Structure 1
């Protein structure tokens, strides 16, 4: 998205915290948590639905097929970031966030209603793939748009902290999905879970997504975006999907990708494949694997505020940021 929107606006109203800011934080965070919930329950419950949607005679191949579909969602995420980032610059942050949460909820509904392999044959995994493409596009646009929105709504001295709440809310959404898996595993048998009840969390995600959509309709548009839009109109400019990154910020983009790629790989290896690895390869019970994932996500949520120079705010952290690039962490300035 247009990095110019993160600069301090000429309007003095952006320096004030509006009375509805706390509601804005909660609404944005809850919507982001639900999006991560939709994203995460796929990995949590794939141990149950893999043999239902893919050929059931080979459980390992079915799990691999389910993970391959998950990977497709990851592949299309950059495209979602590009499309919804451009839309956020062209039509506003709120519009982009409305579309991302709506698209993610539609994907969850499609997964909840996807027919079994016995009923639809290869049509079942094809429909699952389509649903994951929609969710991948939505997820790719949700985090950068929501994080930019919070950074623009925050007071100058709190931008890094407010923007970092996206990671706390996102992990909370993953935690909610794992918790639902633990509860359903305790209440239902493995046969019931594999037969139909794995669809319950996806239906819940679709319903909660409608609530998040309604809540986001009431959000105010970012004053930074409104100022930038007026500036563009007076200058006769239109936002480009590729020009901001390729023309002016390609070096910073490469730096950021290089900084986060290692941690991202580690996170997804742990959060996506650990449960399946424990159950399918090492023979751990599904309930035990889910409980271990629940505890690890709790630890992650409590330790998130302790890591990252954006939250610490110390002189050493500020020096570290300045040494890397003066524009690398623009939301913290």
Structure 2
């Protein structure tokens, strides 16, 4: 596989794009529960991917988007890593609380630094180490320390998702620096769509007993979509396509370790949207965690500005 020459680092712009991504994805993800009671995970990803790819195909000629990859193998490998990470995370939800799974997934920045140091020999400064530690502590406080108690070996499953997600983040800049954000975004949705279709095929061949409501989200096979479902999926696909596209662009612009720390903002924005939409309230520890997450992102941004002067 050919390794691309990395473009100049533009961390401040990457931070801004990642913050917009966090706000958009935090909003759309809060509406997953609106369809979780009537559809399944696999159909959700297959439908969302099809709609997102259709929208990208329609607007590509007018916006000048390049969807064809320059390096097919690199884009496919990166898309597969990202798709597998997301599926491992959602799969973990079948046998553990969401809080435990989310905490495992958000170990990705730590894995980014470890991989960058051990595999690529990059120097890790004390500021980045402190920022990552601060961000992860904030995640624990937002989710609640009790949520992590007793995770044990099962907790390694979402941590595996975090490790794979970290590899995808590193691959974005190291393997795919010459690719456009739209190309990588299309690859991401193709990967998730194919994984969703694979899951639907398996459930069609080996159907499972499906619990009622949202409890059956992971085991539910294909169901006939109605207008309300398609409306929710169109909203989710639109926000996901734009938001993930911005985040992908951010990983092309700046070091993966820095961007991944700012990506912690998905948690507080999700919590804020949950309060605004569903009336869910956070405790004092959770708000302290949000402050730590914001502080971690601010440290990275200010440090980057000093280095770019």
TM range (shorter): 0.3 to 0.5
Q: TM-score, normalised by structure 1?
A: 0.34
Q: TM-score, normalised by structure 2?
A: 0.36
Larger RCO (CA within 8 A; separation ≥ 6): 2
Please state which structure has a larger fraction of its residues in helix. Answer: 1
